[in-house]
Structure 1
Amino acid sequence: MQSRITYILFLLISVISYGQVNLTVTPDKTSYTANEVINLTIVLEIEGSDYNQQTKLRLPDFSKFNLIGTGSVSNAFMDPETNTVVSQAVTRLALEPKQKGKLKIGSFLITINNKIYKTEPFDISIKEAEKKAVAVNTPASKDVYLNMEVEDREVYQDQPTVAVLKVYSKNMDNFRKVKNIHLPEKNNLEVYPISYAKSEIDPSDYGNMASQILAVFMIFPNEAGYVEVPGVSASVNSFSHKNKIVSNKVKINVKKLPEGSPEGFKNAVGNFKVNVENVSKEKAEVKKPINVVVKVSGEGNLKSMELPKIAESPDYDFFAPKITSKVTLATTGMMGEVSANYVVIPKKAGEIIIKTEPFAFFDPVNKEYVDLEHEDLAVNAFSHDQIMESRSTVEKVNEYTNTFLETVNTPVLKTTSLKVKEKNKFHWNILFTNLFILLGLVIAFLLFKTWQRKRKTGKKVLMDKPSLGSVAETENEIRQQFKTDINDYFSYLENLKDNNDYQKFFQTLEELDEEVRNQYLQNSQHDFRNVLENDKGYAVAEEYIVLQQSVQIEKYAPVKSSEGMDELLTSIVNLYSKISK
């Protein structure tokens, strides 16, 4: 019996001496502050040559940390005492804590010879970090500090994170001296301001220093990896000096988007919807343009994303779109809609299907791709003969009447308001009303011509009389002869804009400009600009030049938006009200 026990002991000793696996993990310390880096050292030591490592080192759950760096080294040597091979692998991990308090680091696992080896979990303590601000301190600005705080330091590519800029100082009077805030600029970042409204002063934010929020802005990192956000700069203005201060820099862990993206995915990250609609009021006609709007709405990187385009087809042609956006920025994200207004020309009669290219986006909340494929818009296009045949006799009479009303060259009569819209039913009242209006306009036109002849005769008599007044009186008399009530022009232009008669709108605007220039006895716009600069000031003269440039842009734009025309009309009314005599 004793010999058996001795045999078993010798067998166990030989096995233990033949091979052994040790897996240990050691932190550099057990207590850290929130801005310190946690360094872990994992050592795997294998004694013996009969061990087969079947898996790599498996890490525990690091959801409460940012993994900011890794490194490993391995070596092997022969132990002369036991005559066995010793393999050693050392791995270093650098972690950044996401929260304060006691955090647990779980077990590291590895499988060798079908056996799982693991380390024991342990706790580390994360304390409140001391708030440090500023990268640049000059003697005049050493009492004022900037600090940039980023809400979420771990985001996906093209996913936004919100940053808050605070100013710290012991003297509250310094807060009003901080001006000229410049947000960070970098190629791999897109920064959009949310608000520059200053908050109320917190008298005891940190120690005996007061603080105030200066700006809130949104950051869109457009490449994966560890991205450094540069500091925000500002100036501290005093009576004698103007000093620059800069905030701290912040690193963001930008996660790479998952693999396996759909074909239609470009760079859209968020949650979106796509809608396609025909906004033209008239029937679609072959070889005549129609307006098709591709609208993307939702929440995400709306300003930087690539919109789905209209797919090419032998059934239609289209031109480059005009992009308009209605986007709002808030602490919850970028929300709104972006529209691409296309001019589409049908090439054949009948039903045509206008398709968009496939579109997909990545939803960071659900961490998955959403494929919307493509949107279809069915448009029934008619030939010119079909359009003409479909019109009734009354509609043809209405068209002739509308054409006549549009050719009456006077800004005083709002003739376009008398235009008749197409009706599906036959109305005798409309027919008689049109004929009565047509007759009345002919009579008014004859009376207007008679009044013009009498006016010319009166002018000729006045010009034959010798002038006894001064040069200024004569110039004022000439101006009164050319003077026109521009309010009639404004009303007429607004009526043309509301009826989408843009060709007549710009013709009338040229007449208005000519009338006002005649008041100054100027024929060219260049000479008129010099007169305005002498008479009204440099600012008004520049405003006139800018307005003329805006008029040319809108006049020759392939698609005219109602918002752009509204802004143009407002500028016209404001400027010509100031310069008209």
Structure 2
Amino acid sequence: MKRWVVLLFSLFSLVSKAQDSDIKFETVLSKVKLGQNERLRVSFEMNKDGDFFEAPSFENFEVLMGPSQSISSSFINGKRSFSKSYTYVLRPKKQGQLIIDSASISIDNTVYTTDPKTVLVTAPIDNPNAPKTAQDIADESLYLVATLSNDKPYLNQGVLVTYTLYFSPRVYINNFIPVENPTYKNFWSQDLPIKEYETRRTTFKNESFNAVDLKTVVLYPQKSGSLALDPFALELYVQIPTGRRDFFGDPIMRSATKTVKAGDLSINVKDLPEQGKPSNYSGAVGDFKLSVDASRTSLEANESTQIKVKIAGKGNLKLLSVPELSLPSALEKYDPEYTDDVRVNREGMNGSVSNSYTVVPRYAGSYPVDPIEFTYFDPNSKSYKTLNSDPFDLTVEGSSVLPNTSASAPIVEKNTPTSSGFKSNAYQTSLVTIVTSPWFESNTFYIILALLVIIGFTINSIINALKANLGSSDQGTKKALPKKIKALLKRAEKLAKEQNPEFYSIASEILFSGLEKYSGVDLSTASKQEREEKLQTLGADTNLIERINAINDRILLVRYSGSASAPFEEDLKVLHKIIDDLL
């Protein structure tokens, strides 16, 4: 029995310690910046009841009200929640950076303290008691921040850029539209689609805020030095509660619009070290493995085998070169088939790239496949590493043996006898000249030549007639699409059938390639107004400009929302029509 009592007591102690680790006691401010004649609400909040609460001295503040105590407790789905707060209303006595010191309380015989908080007190405002407008609340409640996973990467080392929207719990976001998009010049870049926005509670500017990641991009710098990133800007449409309700009991909301912008960022890209750089280094950065495998190493002459050279791991896989396979000259090697099995996520590129060679031996024998060498730079160890594949032999069976080209045929000397014991034979040869006429002077040649001339003249006449008919019926057929746009449209059609959100990245490239071909200038970085003015000066009709704006808005919305329910096929038709009208 005593053993059970000890065991239960130990279990209770463990549970108590686990609960203690979840205790929160913090200071919450109504604002972090105010005029000297404004009021400040300070709350000390905890998630477990305690005793012996001690407030700070509030030096440099006048206490207008407090402490007022509030307790909330609930039991939902078998889980109990508790909150308690002590609230004060203060007014600053002077201007400047003022500190609210720590408060303390005893919870379960342990004393907890809050962190000190700082507020900025400015000059008195004209009407401190005037209610704030919806725009005032929106201005102080919405922020867009860009963060880098690494602001000092090596050349060709991956960097993750995350654009996070911070918004106060007192505002509701209805919609957002990108108005400025980074171009990532001097970077290889890929947007990571966000399937679902996840909101989290955090502390921002010493206040409680909600945060949501709206856009993530993987970058691989292609140039060393200080590289600037263009800002990313959003237009936000928000609703703000008024604190009042209508006849049906629903809250009355006020609307506001705010444009937020992630500030300019720069990445200091380090060049790769020259010390220890091998002469065969080709630019690979990351952590890789090399393998060379043959589908079979024993085969008959004139049969084929596949030899695959594969680079796998994490790093700039899409940007590196797979080392070339070197084989004996007796083996026929065909051009390799390149395979890209690379995934891009928040960690960068990972997967593999490979070249698969078809090899056909023509002669029997044993042929060595020498090791392949591959060098890369490892940013973790800050050093170059060289990999070598394992050598192996190709064994070829068959009756046909490779000729020994190095052996020379024996030389036989012919000697003329000088002895008179032999008599030479004299032959009288009668030569008859055979006269033949060349083929190009024959009758057959002239008949064939005449037929070819007649056929050529007939075909030329038919072609000219067809051109004349086509020209009269269509006032000069439109020029063929540029090869780049043609290739992009083909890829877009495939992605649209797959309902792949990457379709809209390709669609953006198609649209602005077409606009550049039409206008002669790159409009991808121009604002909407600048783009419209340029198209109007070139004589584009209003309907075409409106369709361009509509499809561009759709592209931006889907690219940055990651929606998989977009009308891919319909947008592809619209894009086709716009390109046809432009070109």
Q: TM-score range by the shorter chain?
A: 0.3 to 0.5
- Which structure has more relative contact order (CA 8 Å, sep 6+)? It is 2
Please give the TM-score of this superposition, normalised by the length of structure 1.
0.38
Please give the TM-score of this superposition, normalised by the length of structure 2.
0.38
Quick check: which one's helix share is greater? 1
